[in-house]
Amino acid sequence: MRETPAVDHRQSAAADYLQPLPAERSAYRWFLVLFIAVLAVKLLVAARLPLFVDETFYWLEGQHLAPSYSDLPGLTAWLARLGVSLGGNTELGLRLPFLMIAAAVPWLVARVTAREYGPVHGWQAGSFALLLPLAGTLGLLALPDAAMALATVLCIDAGARLLRQVSAGASLELALGLTIGALSHYRFIAVIGVGLLALLLVRDGRKALRDPRVWTAIAIGAAAWAPLVAWNLGNADAGLRFQLVDRHPWAFHWDGILFVVIQALMVTPLLFAALLAAGWRGYRGALPASRYFALLGGLLVLGFFSLGFFADTERVSFHWPLPGYLALLPLLPAVLAAWPRWLRGLTWLTAGLGLVMVMGYYVAVSVPDLRARAAAEKWYPSNFAGWDELADAVRLERGQMGPDTRLVAGSFKIGAELGFALGDPRIPVLDHPLNVKHGRAPQLQLWNLAAGPRESWPAQFGQAWADAPVLLVIASSDVQYKHLLERYHHLCGKLGPLPPPRVVNVDHGRQRFLLFRFDSSMPTAGNCTAPAMAWIDSPVGGQRVARNFDIAGWAFKDGVGLERVEVTLDGKPVAEVAYGASQPGTAAFWRISNDPNQPRVGFSGRVELGANVTTGRHWLGLRLHGADGSVEAWPEQPIEVR
């Protein structure tokens, strides 16, 4: 008979102890499934999503490598350069380093939480780091937020480790997090300040701060700000003034309430409430790590909420409190464990739906047909739209004008987007309010890409500009309509009378680009000739109209005037209207207009639609015929034909 081997019961018990429990295995599997699914979707969307304007400017900065820049420290530009160097000059190539950095964040959140509260809570916190819409979409755009989130979580982890025991490893991790954060964004100063305050408010934190290894790490992190400080010292503090002074009104405004509401919607309401409850519970808890997470996360979130009542409301700022939410995530599973099962499930579900909705927005932006349907909506994604069509039009124009044609952009947006599309990081840019508003004007000056008056171009860019044709590209949709004629006259003052433009209307003209051909024979001064201006007074946008309806409005073209006005439906002419009615109100509003027809610039007529026009939404526009032979398509507005 074969002898049964002896069993070491101590080894068997140890093996059973080391095996993950069912709850841990389930939490890990859910995390892994979510991680793979979210990363796969992000890779697919990132490959198709048109580049956001800021992304292309970071690409442009990456083509002019430097320790720091006017708008940001250097890391974002360096990552952009790395992405296109390894992955090609494509949307996915540019975004790939940011996607990889963002992919590390949920794993780090899981690690921090598991060490403090156990593996089940760790994988659950990691899962919420994927579902939290602000964190789950990190890296989808090549923006500094991905690196800043990584830096935040590294500092959170290092701080929690230091509360247990000061070690070389924890100090090195703190130094790494502080360095990445310093190279990411000015906003990381808030994480540093609040993190230091949180350590001071916890007894074990004060003990850790007495260790020289911690201050060595802090000194290394402080040294990482040196390139940004040096840039500001050498450029009259232009970057610092923009980030901390110029872009903010620093006056109380009630719009801050909307900031809080938007946060609740962006985080999803139940998850938002759970995170706030987690912060309060952690602050009252006995564990030093819990108090540290609560103080760091809670003070960051509350600080940014308060800032919303005084700071910039014109630019996107809903992502600012993300570092605070990341600090609160380790405390979240314990709070949810005390909730009823149905409420926990609803929290998971709504968080997942929130991520799907945000991802769905990016998917919609990447589909041209869906983008065009949103042309009349307030949420139309103008900073994503129209760049491919513009690049195609520029290639066509340059092909007709000749290989020596020089390209000039009307703003940093156009210069960066066309630079990426055409592989040209040296496109000169005219002065524009947007360059100043977004803090890019000093950088363009440093690169010698800020184009002055037309007569200075040969001296500024070389004698090759003297006789070469020039293609100027501007976006009329980048200027508020009430200031558009003033902008045209400003261009005339720098460039001379503007030639008839080629109009590129994208998404029914919601994005509208004008391409002007200049050559050395054209005057650099004289009476301003500008693109046409128009307005449809009736029917108004979105109005329901009968198959036969009246149309009225006004139109003019400075310098030469208009000869006739056609009405279009879905881009096709459907009527020619009478032009030349007196419009004294129009002339009074546009006082600088030099159209020779002023004030007789009104038009009116009747549009009779045939049987081939279906009921439902259509797009009503104008075709404006100038006395100089130019033809310009005016942006369209939706009407409902009944």
Tell me: the pLDDT tens digits for 131-160?
Answer: 999 999 999 999 999 999 999 999 999 999
**CB-CB contact of 409 with 415 (8 Å):** yes
Q: What is the mean pLDDT of residues 93-100?
A: 98
The pLDDT of residue 174: 97
Based on its alpha-carbon atoms, the radius of gyration of the chain, rounded to whole angstroms, reads 29
486 falls in which pLDDT band (50, 70, 90)? very high
pLDDT at 13 over 50: no
Tell me: the pLDDT tens digits for 34-50?
Answer: 999 999 999 999 999 99
**CB-CB contact of 444 with 450 (8 Å):** yes
**CB-CB contact of 329 with 321 (8 Å):** no
92 falls in which pLDDT band (50, 70, 90)? very high
Q: What is the mean pLDDT of residues 238-243?
A: 82
Q: What is the mean pLDDT of residues 174-201?
A: 96
What does the mean pLDDT of the chain come to? 91
Tokens 């630019």: give the residue: 315
Tell me: the pLDDT tens digits for 157-169?
Answer: 999 999 999 999 9
Q: Which residue has the higher pLDDT, 254 or 94?
A: 94
Q: What is the mean pLDDT of residues 381-388?
A: 92
Nearest to 491 by CA among 472, 477, 510, 505: 472
Residues contacting 394, CB < 8 A, separation 6+: 407, 418, 422, 471, 473, 515
Tell me: the pLDDT tens digits for 590-601?
Answer: 999 999 999 999
The pLDDT of residue 12: 39
The pLDDT of residue 390: 96
Name the burial class of residue 401, with classes exposed (0-12), middle (13-18) and buried (19+) by CB atoms within 10 angstroms of its CB: middle
6 falls in which pLDDT band (50, 70, 90)? very low
Tell me: the pLDDT tens digits for 99-139?
Answer: 999 999 999 999 999 999 999 999 999 999 999 999 999 99
379 falls in which pLDDT band (50, 70, 90)? confident
2 falls in which pLDDT band (50, 70, 90)? very low
Distances (CA, A) of 77 to 382, 427, 511: 23, 18, 27
3 falls in which pLDDT band (50, 70, 90)? very low
Per this entry, what is the length of the chain?
642
Give the separation between CA 501 and CA 393, rounded to whole angstroms: 12
pTM of the entire predicted model: 0.91
Q: What is the mean pLDDT of residues 372-392?
A: 90
Tokens 């809670």: give the residue: 298
Give the separation between CA 181 and CA 101, rounded to whole angstroms: 13
Report the percent of the chain where pLDDT is more than 70: 95
Cis peptide before 20 (omega within 30 of 0): no
Task: List own/partner pairs for 35-44 with CB under 8 A and 24 or more apart.
Answer: 35/103, 35/106, 35/107, 35/126, 35/130, 38/130, 38/136, 38/355, 39/99, 39/103, 41/359, 42/99, 42/102, 42/137, 42/139, 42/140, 42/359, 43/92, 43/99
